Structures are given as C-alpha cells and as structure tokens.
Amino acid sequence: MSDSDVRNVIIIGSGPAGLTASIYAARANLKPLCIEGFNAGGLIPGGQLMFTSDVENYPGFPEKVTGQELMQRFRDQAVHQGTEIITGDVTRVDLSKRPFEVWALDVEGNERFFKTKTIIASTGARANYIGLESEEKLKNKGVSACAVCDGAFFRNEDVVVVGGGDTAMEEAHYLTGLCKSVTLVHRRDDFRASKTMQDRVTSNKKIRILYSHVVEEVLGVEEDKVTGVRVKNLKNGEVNTVACAAMFVAIGHTPLADLFKGQVELHENGYVKTVPGTTQTNVPGFFAAGDLQDWVWRQAVTAAGTGCMAALEAERWLSANDPH
C-alpha cells in the first residue's frame, strides 16, 4: 500500500501486544500496518522483552526462550501473516480527524504521514529512575535500567540493584552470574516480589540485601563512571557508601502515553483508560493494548491477550462502522 491510502488499522508498537494485534488483524484481512518504533523512550523494536534474559513463563516454551528470540518469532509470524512493518517512531497522532492521522519518522529520517480508520496503541511502558542528578549524569556510565543489556560490562565487579519487585529480584539474580557481588537496596522491610523470586534472591550467597535503605547519591560524576552509591538507612538515619561499578535501577515503569495525552482519557497514573474487559477507549476506533493500559499484570502473555482482543475489536468496529 502507499502512504496516501487510508488504512484499516495502524498498530503503534511492536511488543507482545502490538505484534499479536498485527497477527490477528492480518488474519482478518485488515492489511495492518505496524509501526514498530526504534528509539521511543529508549525502547527498541520488540518492546521490553528485548531487555529480558530467559523467559520461562510464556506458554508453549517448556524449554526457556530468550526475550529476543521470542519477539523475533512474534515478528516473523506477524510478517508471515501479511503485516506491513515500518521501523520508525510515531511522532504525532490526530484523533480528532476521521480517518485518524498519524505522523512517523522512519529509520532513514523521512517523515511519513498516514490516514487510518482505526488505531491500536501498544506503545508499552519504560523504566523509571530514582531522579537524582548524579544518576542522570552517569546513565550509560554505570547507571542502567537493564541488567541483561549492560550487566556484561561489569563482569567480576561489585554492583548495586535498587528495588523490591520481581524485576529487582530477577536483575539481582541474573547479575550474580556475571558480577563479583550484588547489593540489593530496597526502601522497605518487605519485598513486593513473588515468593519464588524472593527465595531465589535471599538464598543466593552473592547477594547482600540492604532493607529500609535508599540511594541518596550515585558517586563517580568527576571520574565520569560509577564508583559507588551513598545509601541512607531509613530506620536510623545512618549514611554509608557502597563501592560499586554499576547501579541497576529496577523501580517500576511509566506508560508511553505522551502521544495520546489530551486526546484520549487516561487514568490518574498516566495509563490509557479502557472499558473494563475490553480494549476500547473513550475514542471510538482507538484501541489500547498491553502495558500502555495495564499496570497490574504487565506480562507478555497478558499483553499478547489484549493485543488479540484489540485486533478483534477493531475488526468488529470496522464491520459495524465501515461496512465497505
């Protein structure tokens, strides 16, 4: 199709939600266009699973599969079913027009402009940081939000992981396979991670846990690389330095909803609002799937499930509203 044709459906994002929506929309003969993103919010095509090591909980893979391989399989299947994929970042959408309008910057730097009857938004979420100036200055110089991406740079070094959820447990455990030691810093006495993940961490002798501690400062700005972190014990106010070569931040995510702000209803926490049990938003023909609208489950399999729902809902919406 050419850029000037009015599309049935444009899918924005290429994580499990976007690519599952692509597979279902292609099979429904909607000739979907998926704009997979290449730099949005630091994400790369394939979404957050590209930053994950082994995926052991995606059904159908009794032998573990890497996040990258799983997403490559999703993508191959979407293409095989007839999805057109463009590598590019969507820079703007106009949901006040019918058909909707979508602008994107492709990987060669060309601006692309599309019109579409429906949109499935599946831009996902990105990692949060603590918000310290020193942390910002040392990003990619020892401060990272992805152990799988950057852990190998710190082989046989001491590292710190911040957070108390499943991601922090997963990252801490993963890093013990590479690094000399891991200090896990968590602001409370209890982890919110699942029991299995907690057990994996508490039984790992290479992991030291600092409960009720926060990172006050990342050290090493002058040296231009992380040399340690200054931590504060919230129980007694004591301040200490932990020498380390890297700090991995694993403190949750923010939905990538900026494109849609002011055009579609959002929850107070910034996630796109959908009618419960559906992927419908308050804008007819605009559907949201995956982590962009889900801060509770956030699993590849649930994201894929809502991607499927979105494609089927888009198909039904087109049949009802655009029968030709």
By CB under 6 A, is residue 187 in contact with ligand NAP?
Answer: yes
Closest separation between CB of residue 118 and ligand NAP, Å?
A: 28
Closest by CA position to 12, among listed 259, 280, 315, 253: 259
Alpha-carbon torsion angle 7, 13, 17, 19, nearest 10: 70
Assess whether 89 carries a catalytic annotation: no
8 A C-beta contact, residue 307 and residue 122: yes
CA angle 194, 132, 212 (to 5 degrees): 40
Closest by CA position to 111, among listed 126, 96, 101, 98: 101
Selecting among 106, 149, 158, 166, the annotated active-site residue is 149
Closest separation between CB of residue 131 and ligand NAP, Å?
A: 7
Neighbours of 213 (CB within 10 A): 24
Selecting among 34, 94, 106, 150, the annotated active-site residue is 150
Selecting among 5, 54, 94, 146, the annotated active-site residue is 146
**Of the residues 198, 298, 302, 312, which one makes contact with ligand NAP according to CB under 6 A:** 298
**Of the residues 180, 252, 254, 273, which one makes contact with ligand NAP according to CB under 6 A:** 252
Tokens of 93: 């959408």
Assess whether 179 carries a catalytic annotation: no
By CB under 6 A, is residue 164 in contact with ligand NAP?
Answer: yes
By CB under 6 A, is residue 200 in contact with ligand NAP?
Answer: no
Beta carbon nearer to ligand NAP, 43 or 85:
43
Beta carbon nearer to ligand NAP, 9 or 219:
219
> Interacting stretch for ligand NAP, rule CB under 6 A, among 78-86, 250-258, 264-272, 306-314?
250-258
Q: What DSSP character marks residue 266?
A: B
By CB under 6 A, is residue 167 in contact with ligand NAP?
Answer: yes
Assess whether 166 carries a catalytic annotation: no
Q: Residue 229 to residues 178, 216, 218, 250, 304: CA-CA distances in angstroms?
A: 20, 8, 4, 15, 38
Binding string, 56-85, against ligand NAP, x = CB under 6 A? -x----------------------------
8 A C-beta contact, residue 264 and residue 283: yes
d(CA 209, CA 201): 9
Q: In the complex, which residues of this chain contact ligand NAP (CB under 6 A)?
A: 57, 130, 162-168, 170, 187-188, 192, 250-253, 298
Catalytic amino acids?
146, 149-150
